[in-house]
A = this chain, B = another copy of it.
Amino acid sequence: MFSERQQQIVETAIKLIAEKGIQNLTTKNLAKEIGISEPALYRHFSNKLEILKAVITHFQIKMQPAFDKLNKSVNSLNKIESFILEHLKIISLNPNFAKVIFSEANFQNEENLILKMNKMMNQSRNLLEKIVQSGQKKNELRTDVSPLSIVRVIIGSMRLLVTQWSMSSMIFNLENEGKELCEDIKKLIVAK
């Protein structure tokens, strides 16, 4: 799909955004960081928007394993645990992701980009919602709380954790802190 040079451009773009925000992603900086000239970029992408689109596609590809692992567990609490921990694992292994993903608002002026990003986010949320609903049906999760609220609690606290981790310059171990949060969430939502 992407040539080696294209991948290098995408990865360097992510690095630049993570370092100093999306304002830092200029064609000049990008070319300089890679060690080629600015016009050389345009041999691999027709314009800057295409580079940003490729960045999001890159995320989708990297995030896929988090979804693949889910079907391996039967119990819905285990599925939710996998959902949380696998997501955090991937983000932990690709620290630059966090900074870019949670600056989604930066894409506000580019309709295409925000649509692509929302689609990706909704994919996660819908999957989790199905898991929660089936968990309630099987009486593994408490049913006195709406599935929507449970999903919001899980995704919301996950995102907040990642934001705090990212804002703190990754000062704490995301996976360990994530495990603790996950255990606590499980206690909150398990059927009594």
Question: Which residue of the partner chain B has the closest CB to A105?
Answer: B103
Cβ A160 vs Cβ B155 within 8 A: yes
**B184 near A109 (CB under 8 angstroms)?**
no
CB distance from A122 to the nearest CB of B (A): 10
Are the C-beta atoms of B152 and A160 separated by less than 8 Å?
Answer: yes
B109 touches A20 (CB 8 A): yes
A145–B23 CA distance with the chains assembled, in angstroms: 40
Are A188 and B153 CB-contacts (below 8 A) given A103-B108, A105-B103? yes
The A contact surface, by secondary structure, is helix
- CB interface residues, A 143-167, toward B, < 8 Å: 144-146, 149-150, 152-153, 155-161, 167
Counting CB contacts under 8 A, is A189 at the interface? yes
Copies of this polypeptide in the complex:
2
- Is the Cβ of A105 less than 8 Å from the Cβ of B105? yes
Q: Is A119 an interface residue (CB 8 A)?
A: no
Q: How far is the CA of A105 from the CA of B99 in the complex (A)?
A: 8
Q: How long is the Cα–Cα vector from A108 to B103 in the complex, in angstroms?
A: 9
Interface contact B108-A105, CB-CB below 8 Å: no
Asked whether, in the complex, the Cβ of A160 is within 8 Å of the Cβ of B156, the reply is yes
Query: With A23-B109, A158-B156 in contact, is A118–B167 under 8 Å at CB?
Result: yes
Contact with B along A109-126 (1 / 0, CB 8 A): 100000000100000000
A114 nearest CB neighbor, chain B only: B167
Partner of A184, one of B149, B161, B192: B149
Q: Is the CB of B109 within 8 A of A106?
A: no
Residues of chain B within 8 A (CB-CB) of A156 are 153, 155-161
**Distance between Cα atoms of A152 and B22 in the complex (Å):** 27
Q: List 8 A-B contacts (CB under 8 A).
A: A20-B109, A103-B106, A103-B108, A145-B187, A152-B161, A156-B157, A156-B158, A156-B160
